[in-house]
Amino acid sequence: MKARKGPHVNLVIFDVDGTLIDSQNMIVTAMDRAFAAHGLAAPSRAEVLSIVGLSLETAMRALVKEEADALAGPLTEAYKAAFFDLRQSEEHHEPLFPGALAALDRLSGREDVVLGIATGKSRRGVNAIMDLHNLHGRFATIQTADDHPSKPNPGMVSAAIAETGVLPQRATVIGDTTFDMEMARAAGARAIGVGWGYHPNEALAAAGAQIVLSHFDELDRALEAHFLEEAAR
């Protein structure tokens, strides 16, 4: 990717699960298998989707609560193994949401935009998605759970801003969870929610989303409004 830096460059940071990738069936199935492997009743689909976006062990701690110290580590490893097995199966897949690829292509072609990722996935998980959908070369910065505290800690966004040299006020986070919105605001970035993911629209707005999209076709207009507003300052 061609380096783009300067006071007028905008950084657009995407979450992955629930924003770019529809992975909920994979996540829920892997969670079911992880809990079953330890003889435990699996959490409900709603409970599982409520913690998507958190780093994996943090998510497990939220699910098992008072037994977190004893169970979070083993459940995390069981989940990783289950997810890896599912990814090898032809019966399970992680499709891009409608319009996602076209939106990435449009944005990556702009001279005033660089793209980034901030995700609770591991680097291995991100690489698998990149390979699956041929997304390599579009992102100037990729921040994962391997190197940062869990969302909503702003570390991922701050690192992306530092790596690309973009002004914080010219960074925008696109995500489907309250964790994404809170992370963005804590880092001094703008926050745009998406309504096709795992947290309700009203929760995204309450957490700081300036707008909640209903389809990827709306993203360009929402971003352009942010870019123009910042340029007028």
pLDDT reported for residue 66: 75
How does pLDDT run across 134-176, given as a tens digit for each residue?
999 999 999 999 999 999 999 999 999 999 999 999 999 999 9
Q: Looking at the domain covering 10-22+95-231, what would its CATH class be? A: alpha beta
Q: How far apart are CA 180 and CA 27, in angstroms?
A: 18
Report whether 16 contacts 117 (CB < 8 A): yes
pLDDT reported for residue 227: 81
Q: What is the mean pLDDT of residues 204-218?
A: 97
- The β-bridge relationship of strands 171-175 and 10-14 is parallel
Per-domain residue ranges for the chain?
10-22+95-231, 24-88
Q: Looking at the DSSP assignment, which residues form a beta bridge with residue 52?
A: 54
pLDDT interval class at 225 (50, 70, 90): confident
Q: How far apart are CA 135 and CA 179, in angstroms?
A: 24
Q: Which residue reads 């700081």 in tokens? A: 208
Q: What is the mean pLDDT of residues 102-115?
A: 95
More confident residue, 199 or 68: 199
Among the listed residues 184, 172, 161, the one whose alpha carbon sits nearest the alpha carbon of residue 229: 172
User: H helices within the chain, ranges in order?
Assistant: 24-37, 45-50, 56-64, 68-88, 100-108, 123-133, 155-164, 178-186, 201-206, 219-231
Residues 6+ apart with CB under 8 A from 230: 10, 169, 170
